[in-house]
A and B are shown apart, each in its own frame.
Chain A
Amino acid sequence: MKNSVNNNLNFPKKKKPWDVSDYELVLMASLSLLFLFVFAYLPMYGVTLAFKDGDGEINVLRSLFADNWVGFYNFKQFFADDKFYTVISNTLSINLLMLCIEFPAPIIFALFLNEIQHTRYKKTVQTISTFPHFLSWTIFGGIILALTNVNTGVTTPIFEFLKLADQTNKINLVTSDYIWVLLIISSLIKSVGWGSIIYLAAITGINPEIYEAATLDGAGRFQRMRYITLPSISATITVFFILRISNMLDNSFEMFYIFQNGVNLSKSEVLTTYIWKVSIGSQQMRYSYASALGLFNSIIGLILLLLGNFVSKKITGKGIY
């Protein structure tokens, strides 16, 4: 009844003609389409190169528009390639390790930092721990390489002091045996402070009365952490977790490239650097092969994102869309 009355009162919607500001807004928003058309959608068309034969071609652009389809040949190629499995296993292992260590670290760091009552000390820790994020990988990685140099660095005397190594049996962190440790620790130091900012911001947003009520009810410090702080920031954690899962095949090129050398490449070659090396970064010019790898990477990333979101919605009822 009420509905019908409302309907009668509503005038039929007339299409308003566009005024100047409509045109202006559309023009402004279209700038993004122009940009994305060139730098996002054209490369998506370029993905067709993965199904064509453009390897070793100097004029790749021509082969992109040529009619030289080879179907899934490039994909078969890399599935038949031993190198591919090394690269994939490195990529997945390092990312899994990082997921287990680097993902929770900023959360724990934020929880700990939040517990420090001395404000000046807290501020100082925050300021200093965030700083490495602003150093480039060339600088930070370069310094780490210097620190871990077997002959001149500080790690050799430390290991000797801890009786882990001696003069004849030195531990070289830059070799394939230890490179994962080195990569993860450097990445951890560089990112933990910065990563914690977002969680600290979420913690600051929690109503202090909840803590007061809990304290009155006799909740101890760890109970407050466990039952108030952690649940309150779980939404933030979920979002970052899903995004992290979808990046399981991505690594920072700038980070890995600086650490790579002849003796650790078997353990430090990851998909992002490998794609560059077989195509643009060398004389191999396997453009189609690299495009196929890139497409593989994108699709796995997309699947992982959807999967992570689905699982998260099932378990916590929250997702990113």
Chain B
Amino acid sequence: MKRANHFNLIKYRPPKIRMSAFDVFLYIFMGAFILITIYPVWYAIVGSFNEGQDFLNGGVWLWPRKFTLTNYIVVFNDNRLWKALLITVLKTVIGTVTGLTFTSIVAYAMSRKELKGRNFFYSANLFTMFFGGGLVPYFLVICAVGLYDTFLVYIIPALYSVYNMIVISSFFASVSNELHEAAKIDGASEFRTLFSIYIPLSTPVLATVALWLAVGHWNGYFGTLVYTRGTDLMTLQYYLLKLIKESSMPDQGDLPSYMYEQLSSQTVSYSAMVIATLPVLCVYPFLQRFFTKGIAIGSLKG
């Protein structure tokens, strides 16, 4: 390890790591920020395990005062939750897969330099990024094509996004052209080349875009609020919205009334929030590596 040569004397050495006042400030600042970020989630969890009427007296901040599972029982007993959950899962899975496929197909064609009329396709795409018709005309189109209050209103309008297309296509463009030529010589069609060569080679960027799409589908309630009547096609987030904004309570159903008396709409909505957060919380640690990498790809290229 010891190399006693004279180069060491002139070799650059990074300065020793010393804790300056600024370092201390940084560590405390970041620590405080983490606390501010985590605490709200913790607060909701605590509230969801606390007895409803008792919670209204205030002072439940760090730990449930009167522990109970009633809030969860009531929410799980609500049929609307299960239906909303089913629709949200379907919407997220189908929407992500179809959206990613559709966008990748277009992105592939756009990444090929030999595409005829490439400039025209690009201008037609880019223009829509900077100018839109606005909410009402868009809504009218949704109605006119018969998508209003159907499940497909969650899927079809979300099939394509110009921004995602550009992100994917810039990644495709960086794939070596020799692979494309080799595939062509072997007689593969463009579709075949896309699905057997380009897509398997582009997992980082595809995973990133898939994550964006999935999060959008899982978290959005705008679609339900505006493009459906909000009853048969209720999504999980819309269900939450109703609980929060209208302070409404799930139906009592066949629950004993003593259970129902100690409830409050607040704690019930917390338990619904915790339930809706759980899937995100579960997949988050696994995906976290992906998106830091992926967003770098997207941003540096695009």
Q: Which residues of A contact B (CB under 8 A)?
A: 18, 20-22, 24-33, 35-36, 38-47, 49, 60-61, 64, 112-113, 115-118, 121, 124-132, 134-147, 149, 151-154, 156, 189, 193, 197-198, 200-202, 204-205, 212, 215-216, 221, 236, 246, 253-254, 257-258, 272, 275-276, 279-281, 287, 290-291, 293-295, 297-298, 301-302, 305
| Distance in angstroms between the alpha carbons of A18 and B190 in the assembled complex | 14
Contact call A129/B37, Cβ cutoff below 8 A? yes
Q: In this complex, what residue of A is CB-closest to B243?
A: A142
Task: For the complex formed, measure the closest distance between the CB of B248 and the CB atoms of chain A, giving whole angstroms.
Answer: 13
Of the candidates A46, A129, A204, the one whose C-beta lies within 8 Å of that of B33 is: A129
Judged by a CB distance under 8 angstroms, whether B56 is at the interface is yes
Query: Which of B143, B145, B165, B241 lies at the interface centre, i.e. has the most chain A CB atoms within 10 A of its CB?
Result: B241
Task: For the complex formed, measure the closest distance between the CB of B227 and the CB atoms of chain A, giving whole angstroms.
Answer: 9
Residues of A within 8 A of B191 (CB): 24, 28
Task: For the complex formed, measure the closest distance between the CB of A225 and the CB atoms of chain B, giving whole angstroms.
Answer: 11
Of the candidates B15, B33, B218, B221, the one whose C-beta lies within 8 Å of that of A125 is: B33
| Distance in angstroms between the alpha carbons of A140 and B44 in the assembled complex | 10
Judged by a CB distance under 8 angstroms, whether B41 is at the interface is yes
Q: In this complex, what residue of A is CB-closest to B40?
A: A143
| Distance in angstroms between the alpha carbons of A267 and B215 in the assembled complex | 30
Of the candidates B26, B37, B56, the one whose C-beta lies within 8 Å of that of A112 is: B26
Task: For the complex formed, measure the closest distance between the CB of B54 and the CB atoms of chain A, giving whole angstroms.
Answer: 10
Of the candidates B36, B137, B141, B222, the one whose C-beta lies within 8 Å of that of A294 is: B137
Q: State whether A129 and B218 are in contact (beta carbons under 8 Å apart), knowing that A21-B190, A32-B125 are contacts in the complex.
A: no
Residues of A within 8 A of B58 (CB): 151-153, 156
Q: State whether A275 and B266 are in contact (beta carbons under 8 Å apart), knowing that A138-B237, A143-B273 are contacts in the complex.
A: no
Closest A-B pairs by Cβ, 8 of them: A294-B134, A46-B137, A43-B133, A136-B219, A28-B109, A201-B296, A29-B109, A40-B128
Residues of B within 8 A of A151 (CB): 56, 58
Residues of A within 8 A of B128 (CB): 36, 40-41
Q: In this complex, what residue of A is CB-closest to B112?
A: A25
Query: Which of A60, A143, A276, A295 lies at the interface centre, i.e. has the most chain B CB atoms within 10 A of its CB?
Result: A143
Task: For the complex formed, measure the closest distance between the CB of A143 and the CB atoms of chain B, giving whole angstroms.
Answer: 4
Task: For the complex formed, measure the closest distance between the CB of B286 and the CB atoms of chain A, giving whole angstroms.
Answer: 12
Contact call A154/B26, Cβ cutoff below 8 A? no
A interface secondary structure, majority: helix
Q: State whether A21 and B189 are in contact (beta carbons under 8 Å apart), knowing that A32-B125, A291-B134, A302-B130 are contacts in the complex.
A: yes
| Distance in angstroms between the alpha carbons of A258 and B17 in the assembled complex | 46
Q: State whether A131 and B26 are in contact (beta carbons under 8 Å apart), knowing that A20-B189, A28-B190, A145-B244 are contacts in the complex.
A: no
Of the candidates A60, A215, A258, the one whose C-beta lies within 8 Å of that of B15 is: A215
Contact call B134/A47, Cβ cutoff below 8 A? yes
B197-230 Cβ-contact flags toward A at 8 Å (1 or 0)? 0000000000000000001001111100110000
Contact call B34/A129, Cβ cutoff below 8 A? yes
Residues of B within 8 A of A147 (CB): 40, 43
| Distance in angstroms between the alpha carbons of A280 and B29 in the assembled complex | 45
Query: On chain B, which size bracket covers the interface?
Result: 35 or more
A112-B29, A138-B219 given; name 20 further pairs at CB < 8 Å.
A18-B116, A29-B115, A30-B121, A31-B105, A39-B138, A41-B128, A43-B138, A43-B140, A46-B141, A115-B26, A130-B288, A135-B277, A140-B40, A152-B56, A193-B37, A197-B291, A212-B12, A276-B226, A279-B135, A294-B133
Residues of B within 8 A of A140 (CB): 40
Q: State whether A32 and B136 are in contact (beta carbons under 8 Å apart), knowing that A152-B55, A276-B226 are contacts in the complex.
A: no
| Distance in angstroms between the alpha carbons of A200 and B295 in the assembled complex | 10
Of the candidates B37, B43, B137, B222, the one whose C-beta lies within 8 Å of that of A44 is: B137
Task: For the complex formed, measure the closest distance between the CB of B228 and the CB atoms of chain A, giving whole angstroms.
Answer: 11
Contact call B276/A43, Cβ cutoff below 8 A? no
Contact call B61/A136, Cβ cutoff below 8 A? no
Residues of A within 8 A of B112 (CB): 25
Q: State whether A43 and B134 are in contact (beta carbons under 8 Å apart), knowing that A138-B240, A139-B277 are contacts in the complex.
A: yes
Contact call A43/B137, Cβ cutoff below 8 A? yes
Task: For the complex formed, measure the closest distance between the CB of B51 and the CB atoms of chain A, giving whole angstroms.
Answer: 13
User: Which B residues, 220 to 266, have Cβ-Cβ distances below 8 Å to chain A?
Assistant: 220-222, 225-226, 237, 240-241, 244-245, 266
Judged by a CB distance under 8 angstroms, whether B89 is at the interface is no
Residues of B within 8 A of A20 (CB): 189
Task: For the complex formed, measure the closest distance between the CB of B33 and the CB atoms of chain A, giving whole angstroms.
Answer: 6
